[in-house]
Each structure stands twice: as C-alpha cells, then as structure tokens.
Amino acid sequence: MTTEGLTPSELQAAEAVVAELPAEILLPIETPVLAPTPAPPMVVPNLDDSSLYIHRELSQLQFNIRVLEQALDESYPLLERLKFLLIFSSNLDEFFEIRVAGLKKQINFAREQAGADGLQPHQALARISELAHEQVERQYAILNDVLFPALAKHNVNFIRRRHWNAKLKVWVRRYFRDEIAPIITPIGLDPTHPFPLLVNKSLNFIVELEGIDAFGRDSGLAIIPAPRLLPRIIKVPEEVGGPGDNYVFLSSMIHAHADDLFQGMKVKGCYQFRLTRNADLSVDTEDVEDLARALRGELFSRRYGDAVRLEVVDTCPRPLLDYLLKQFSLGESELYRVSGPVNLTRLFSITGLASHPELQYPPFTPVIPKLLQNSDNIFSVISKQDILLLHPFESFTPVVDLLRQAAKDPHVLAIKQTLYRSGANSEIVDALVEAARNGKEVTAVIELRARFDEESNLALASRLQAAGAVVIYGVVGFKTHAKMMLILRRESGEIVRYAHLGTGNYHAGNARLYTDYSLLTADVALGEDVAKMFSQLIGMGKTLRMKKLLHAPFTLKKTLLDLIAKETAAAAEGKPAQIIAKFNSLTDPKIIRALYKASQTGVRIDLVVRGMCCLRPGIAGVSHNIQVRSIIGRFLEHTRVFYFLNGGEEKIYLSSADWMERNLDKRVETCFPVEGKKLILRVKKELEAYLTDNTQSWVLQPDGRYLRSSPTGNQNPRSAQAGLLEKLTVPLVSAR
C-alpha cells in the first residue's frame, strides 16, 4: 500500500496537526531500519498541543469499525465474516454501556473534563453519534445485502414474513401458540400500568392498539417484553422449510401473532426495540467493608442503569419513536433506526453450524514443545530452562498440566495464583480446588471487578473458599490485572520456586482465541520477585525491591520512560536507536510525549496497537519516525511485547499491561524480561512478522484514519497470524 502526504487543508479539516506544520511525512510499510532519521529543520511544536492527540473513545470506535470491515473480506470463510459483524455489534454494545455512558455521566454531573486531545465530553459525544449512526446503517446493509444473500447460496436461509408459504405459516402459528405465547407477558399501558422498567439490552415490542378492552381501557399502547430464555432465531424443521438450514426470527413470530396476545383488540402495529443502559458498576471501594457483598448488590443495578441508546426497527412510526425517546429521556442523536433484528448478537448461535464446516475456519491443533511432549515431570523440564509459549499457536495445556501436577505432587507445599478472567468452572480452578483438598496451601488473588465477569468471579471465589483455599480480593483502589502463578516445591531439602507469568488470562477458552505469551520458569531471581509480588498483594508493607520484575503501579511506568529516554539519548548522539512495542492500547499522555521526543531525535519507533491509540504518527517534526499499525484477524491480538535496542544489548519485556494510565497508575501489573539469545531472537522474529504483515494490518494516519495494507510491487502477501499458524500448529483434516 502506498500513501501520499496530506495537504495542509486536509490536516486543518481533520484537526490532525498544528496549523503551522508542513505536510506530514508518512513512513513506508516495511521492516524497520536501525539508522536514525534526523528531524527536518523546523520549529518544534509544543508537545502538549491538543491537536497532537486522538480522543480515546473515537479511537476505540475506529477499532470497532476495523472489525466490521472484516465482514466484507472475502478471504475469510462466510460464517466467520458473519461473526466479525456480530463482534462489531457486541463491541458496540459495550462501547455504549461503558464509554458513552461515562461521557454522559460527566455531562450530567457537570464534571466535563477534556483529555490531552482537548475534546470536551459533549463534543466527543457529537462525533461518536455521527460516526456510530453511519456505521450501524452500514452494518445492516452488509448483513441484508451481502451476508444473508451469500448464506442463502449455501442454503442457510433467514426467512422473512413476506416469504412465508402456507405450510410455514401453519408451523409458526403452532410454535407461537405452544412455545411463545404461554411465556410472554404483554403489558397494557394506562395510569395503573405505567411504562415498565426494561432490562438492559432486552428485546421488547411496542404495540399500537385499537379498541376498548374488558375493563373499558383504551390507552392504545402496550409493551411486550421478550423473555431472555426464548431463542431469538428458531430453526424450521426440514419437512416444513425444505432442505438446508432455515431459520425464522422470534421477532417475526411475535409480529405475526401479536393479535393473539390482545384478544378482541386490533393491533395496528408491532415494532421491536432495544434499550442500552449504563452498565458500569460504581462501587466505592473506600466505603465498603465487604467488596463481594457490595458487588452482588451492584450486579442487579447494572441491568437498570441510565439509558444511553435506543434501537428501534426502522418501520416504527414517528409518534411512537417520540414516545419511546420521552420515556427514556433520550434525544434524537441517541436513536438508532435499524433495518432488521435489534439484537444481532443472538445470531452467534448459528456461526458454528456443524452442517457447514467449509464456511468456518479450518480447525487446528496447537503444538506442545518437544521438551514437554515426552516428559512426565514438567518440573524437571522447567528446572533446566525457561519455556516460552505463544498461544493459541502453542498449546495452553502445559500451563494447566503444571498446575495439575502441582496439585498431586507430594513435594509441592503451596500454590499462589492471580485470577482475573478464568471462569468458575475451568481446568485451572479444578486443579486449584484439588490442590486445596490435597492439603496444599492454596492462595488465590481474585479480581472481582473484572468488567462483565464479576458474577463469574464471585462464584469462583465461593468455590475455592469451599475447598479450603485462601481467597484475597486484591488491593483497595487497584485492580489486580497481573497474570502470575507461583508454586513452592521442596527439592533436596530446599524450597524451589516455579513460576508462570503471562500476558493473558488463565482461561483455556481465551487461549484458543487470543494471542498471548506464557513463560514457565524456575529462574531464582524471577521466582523471588513473584513471591514478593504476592507478599505485597496479600499482606501489608512497604514496596519491595525487585531484581528482574517490573511492576505497576510502582516501577513499570518509570522504567518504560527511562528506557524510552535511553533510546532518545542514543539517537541524539547519532547512534542506532529503536523501539518496537505491541499492545492493546496506547493512551498515556506521558508515554506519548516521551515517544514524540524520541521520534524528534531520530529514534525509529514501530507500534502494533490493536485498539485505542491516542498518538498521531507521521507528523513532520513530531512523529515522523513513528509508525502505528493495527492487526485484525482470526485471533484477537493480546500480547504485550516491548523491545528496546538498548545500545546493541537488546532488551525485550513481556507484560500484562497496556500503555494506558489505568494500567500503569491504577492497576497491579507485571512486566518480565525475555532472557537468553535464543528466546530473544524468537520474540524478535515474531514481532517482525507483525511489522511486515501486508494483508491484515491497518496503518494509522495523522488524521486518525486507518488505511488497510496490501502487497505492492513484487511483494508477496504476508499475514502474521497465518504464518504463525503454518509454522507452529498442526492442521486437522475435516471429517467431511
């Protein structure tokens, strides 16, 4: 892909750079070079200028748009394209529940606060609304005009009411009578039946009625809440719908037979809608004595937070739209009229159709390193050398096996582990429960406040406590986001520490979908550092000095800034200087300013940022030595890898932390070194695979747009994920 420099007028329109700056110098998409590029002679702008920063919520929305784009990529199997569209829908739900809700809350409480980008919340909301409306309309166009017709060619059909034949109508009537009508509870609206309190993201229908009921009421309106236990799409039997996979939407069934729910009344119209509410939990950890009890109370209120978005089918008449907006105290900008089902995420149920494996990604088997394949004692292997795993290409099984062996091993004395998103019923938790029952000293630091996993983590805590494990809920005011496990084993009369450190969660399911690193080590210094981390989390005392481990909120941010400054100093002296970093999000203004300064002195900086990025690359005199790319593909990019040339003595760190204020200042995080030439070279090569990806990478432009890469000239198509799949996994032959 080639990009041309933007004109000054384009820059001004995008508010991308300072007005006096000349056109940007955009970097080519190639493997980074080590030779520093001096800054062009010019007046260096103020790095605090708001035009040098991108609003974080707008950047997050851009990531969701990149996800939606995958639904149009014909290189993906068809059901996977549908899945990307549904992931966009799910991501957008959370975006409104958390991000938009947070901005609205600032406005409502008169606490508007602009970030480094200078946008006030009300300004950001206006831009979000404009962009979100455009993309939601596009989403339904892709679904109705591209994906549904393509699926129909494979005999996967979603049959709309206008296409029901006589046989299908009879079957739908019977299904409605037997399976739907007995469960549904229509609510007539009148002075004694006010508008009901509707659950967050639930499917509902507003019904326009004509006539007088048995009690003489004629309000003319009713609400039909669709119970969550009802499937949103129903498969039609082959003898009714014919060959193939044929489905009918629940909403179509309710529309068709709403009259049956209001006997003697005439239904003039029935229109589906869905309300999105603020779902961010607000527990003041300073004022609660029992965090678990406080969270249990807040989980209920999450379902009924303040309204932030209203989705309504586009056939709904204007008077009813105005009525609904008034009920939820929403404005026109918060109304989304959609051409199809309002609850698209429920379509996930058909993305794994057993009848159509050819429309899905081919299965694969993650590999297990040869060192571990033929060993019955994982401790003996780790004691000889560090084991580095890259999931999902390499199996998560060794991590589980380590814990399983520890649970049974009579020489193991204690196990300590952090749990952020593991699920109450996982192999990891099973092993911890077994260890506790076998008399091991098991301590689990569980972060109850992992968003949308609070309920699961409460159940997990109860299960471990019932088994006899000690459960700690972390530190007040700081989420425990670190991923670490420590096993204490007596060997030859001495206690030996074995540790696992990771960039991801202890969740075997996520390990099949997310890219993450795992390090299994018996390194003495690293083991001591992990032990100190657990001591700080579980007990009380001053900050303990670490030998190798960097940890937030204490040493990680300072060390990152020092490492960036060291590269800056090297470039200023005319020496080679380079930074490569891969993570999920970059929002911390101090880190961004440090990177800008490094770029100005000639440090070559390549960032692989999956989601939010508030830094503007490619600005002459500021970030002309910085390139930012985002990789979107089959797997969710989740590794956090930090590389520094360090005067030729390369340093590579793996971390649980993104470069965000919340991670570096308000969370407990770990960052650990990759040591040994072999492992350093391996991680470098894997980083380079992402830097040379020209099929699934998107390059960030100075104005905040992302342009998709494509092979140019004689380049061969390169995909980092596809390359790692080919190199590290074993393909499975389909049964068909």
Give the integer Cα–Cα distance in Å for 711 and 722.
Answer: 15
Burial class (CB in 10 A: 0-12, 13-18, 19+), 61: buried
Give the integer Cα–Cα distance in Å for 596 and 561.
Answer: 12
Does the annotation mark 507 as catalytic? no
Question: Alpha helix locations (H) across 468-549?
Answer: 524-538
Give the integer Cα–Cα distance in Å for 671 and 483.
Answer: 10
Which has the closest alpha carbon to 663: 503, 492, 452? 503
451 annotated to bind ligand: yes
Residue of 55, 255, 257, 481 marked active site: 481
91 annotated to bind ligand: yes
449 annotated to bind ligand: no
Handedness of CA 287, 290, 295, 298 (dihedral sign): negative
Strand order of the β-sheet with 245-249 is 156-158, 245-249, 233-235
638 annotated to bind ligand: yes
400: tokens are: 């589980």
Give the integer Cα–Cα distance in Å for 326 and 465.
Answer: 47
704: tokens are: 């905040």
112: tokens are: 């508007």
Amino acid at 48: D
Cβ–Cβ under 8 Å, residues 49 and 614: no
Give the integer Cα–Cα distance in Å for 318 and 322.
Answer: 6
Q: Does residue 32 have a cis peptide bond before it, meaning omega lies within 30 degrees of 0?
A: no
* DSSP codes of every residue in 215-228: TS----EEEEEPPT
Q: 720-728 and 677-691 helices cross at what angle (nearest 10)?
A: 140
Which has the closest alpha carbon to 479: 686, 605, 666, 736? 666
Residues annotated within the binding site for Mg(2+) are: 421, 451
Residues annotated within the binding site are: 91, 421, 451, 514, 610, 638
Which amino acids are annotated catalytic?
481
Residues annotated within the binding site for ATP are: 91, 514, 610, 638
